[in-house]
Structures are given as structure tokens and as C-alpha cells.
Amino acid sequence: MQEYDSRETSESNDKIRYHISRNLGGLNEQSRNYIKDIVVLINKEIGINKIVSLLLFGSQQVKKENTIVSDCDLLFIFKNRVSSRHIREIERYFLALEIKHKFKEPTTNLTRDVLNVISQTTGMFVSHFLTRQKFWEQGTFYKIFQVNRVFSALFAPRNIVLGNVIQNSTLLFGEDLRNELRPKIKISFIEMIRSTVMNLFISFFALLIGPIKDLNSIKYQLEAIKWSLKASNYYCFENSELLEKIIQNFISFEKPRKRGDAESFYLKFLELRQNPSNNLKFMIHTPIRILKIHVRAILFRKLTKRKVSSEPSEIKKHIPDQRYFPLTY
């Protein structure tokens, strides 16, 4: 009987692996191989049948803005009975897989310590997130993305990030739990303040570590700009667009005489995403641009809300009171 159950579980796991592999067809080879290795690892350590849902989000998706600085954002949602100890155990092996598939570079002790602080605080340049179903359904941000609890409570634009994940993700396997969380996403002005502070923090931190060449600090500023654009776009329109589309929107938000400067900055931004290098002039201007992105988004939403709220009253003024309608036959 035990042998039968073992064989049945093995067949079930094989079907799950096949199903996941079939859904990777549109990804590049690097991402496909990385995901396959992770699935094998999880199956070996705790059993792939413990996965409730597997989402791919971010720039590695089909027809998205994948670049040399892009990581492969995977969100594994496990059954509630999977213990935190099991999750921590399998996570130890993920770093080696990220290095193997070139989503992370081998580092010295010093740089590894610095990078660990950044990733644990912000979730930046982490290619995997492991959580349990109850944390996803509750929207417990720091448990979903395994970031510092205090930092996330004070500075992370939690609803904007979760909203972007829901809209800009591909279900690779399992139940689609995105609609479980969608009604709980409420975007507020405070979210934009948090986004501004967090991305300015990352940008200034990148300037601080700039002299340490091994850290390749430009990539942190590039991520801060990308996150600023994505968050601000979601705040304005509550959707997730490609970066080039978002950039065009934010250039149009600028005053006509300032649009040339904005275009030059964003062209350099896109160029550096393809060929990252520590461009000091660009890095100095980045905090200013991050601040402008958020201010423009706040003003845009304030303006559009004012227009929407004023429309019914204007319409009402032009509609005569029904008591005075003339009789018609």
C-alpha cells in the first residue's frame, strides 16, 4: 500500500512538472532552465504537490522589458501545512541556483553582506519569494516578500506593489489566487509618500556605495527609477504597462520646455538598462527625477479626481428640474 501511494505521488509530481514546463514556452532559455531547476529542487526537498500557486511577475514575462539587469521574479505560494522551517531549508539552495543561471553574481564576503542587507530590506534583486497561502490571502506583505517587517510597514508601498504583481503576472501552475487579494488593494496618497521615500533611499544608497565597483551600484538606481515609474503609473491609472509606454506618459506630464530634459534622461535610463555602467552624471540626477516622477503622478491623480468630481455637478446645472418640464403629447 505504501509503495502504491509513493508511486501515485511520483506520477502526480511528474504531471505537475510537465504542466509547469509546458507553460514556460514563451520565456527565454535562461529563465526556463532556472525555473525547471527550482521545481526539481522543491520536488526533492518537500514535494512539488505542496505548491498551491506559482506566479511569474516582472520583466521576464513574454514580450516584457527583459534586460541584462533583470531578475526572474517567481512567487511560490505553498500550502499552509508547509512549515517555515521547510521553507527556510529549501531557500538556502536558491542562491546557488541564481548564481548558476546568472541571475546573481558570485560575491566577496563584504559585497555579499551589503547585498544581503539591501535584499532583506527591500526585496530588490531577489529572484524568488516563498510564502504560504494564508499570508497571500491576508495580504501580509512582509511575509509574502520576505522583507524587513519594520521597513515594509514604514516605507514599502505595499498595495501598489501587490497591485502590480496581480496585474503584471503570469500563472505558471496551480490555483489563480490573484482575485482573492484584489478586493483588498486600496491605493492611497500615503502609498505614494512611501514609494517616494523608499526609492530615494535606494537611490542615495547607490550613490553612497558607488566607489565599491564590485557592487555595480548603477543597477540599484535603475531599479529605483523603474519602481518609481511602475508605482506612479499604477497610482495614476491602476494598471501595469510596459516601461516605454509609462515613460511616454510621464514625459507628456512635463511642461513643454522641460520635455527635452526628461526625454534625454529616460533615453539614458533605457540605454543603461541594456548596458549598465556607473554614469556619475546620470546617478546624481536620479534622485531629482525620482522625486519629479512621484510629484507628477500625485498632481495628475489630484487633477483627474477633481475633474471627475466636478462633472456631475456641471451636468446637473444644465438639467432643468423635472417639476418644470413642459407637458408634451
Q: What is the DSSP string of 154-193?
A: HT--HHHHHHHHHHSEEEEEE---HHHHGGG----HHHHH
Q: Is the Cα torsion angle 91, 37, 69, 163 positive or negative in sign?
A: negative
Joined together, the cell numbers standing for residue 224 give: 529605483
Question: Three-state DSSP class for 55?
Answer: strand
From CA 244, how far away is CA 114, in angstroms rounded?
Answer: 31
Summarize pLDDT for 160-211 with one digit per residue, the tens.
999 989 988 888 888 999 998 988 888 899 999 999 999 999 999 889 888 8
Average pLDDT over residues 287-316: 80
- 8 Å CB contact between 42 and 13: no
pLDDT given at position 242: 87
3-state secondary structure of 79: coil
Mean per-residue pLDDT, 92-102: 81
Q: Can you tell me the distance from the alpha carbon of 128 to that of 76, in angstroms, rounded to the nearest whole number?
A: 8
pLDDT of residue 191: 94
Whole-number percent of the chain with pLDDT over 90? 40
To 10 degrees, what angle do helices 280-318 and 189-208 make?
Answer: 170
Q: What is the DSSP string of 87-149?
A: HHHHHHHHHHHHHHTTSS----HHHHHHHHHHHHHH-TT--EEEEEHHHHHHT-HHHHHT--H
> If you average pLDDT over residues 149-156, what whole number do you get?
87
Alpha-carbon distances, residue 326 vs 91, 319, 320, 321, 322 (angstroms):
76, 13, 11, 11, 9
Spatial separation of the C-alpha atoms in residues 62 and 51, rounded to whole Å: 23
Element (H, E) at 75: strand 73-78
Can you tell me whether residue 78 is helix, strand or coil?
strand
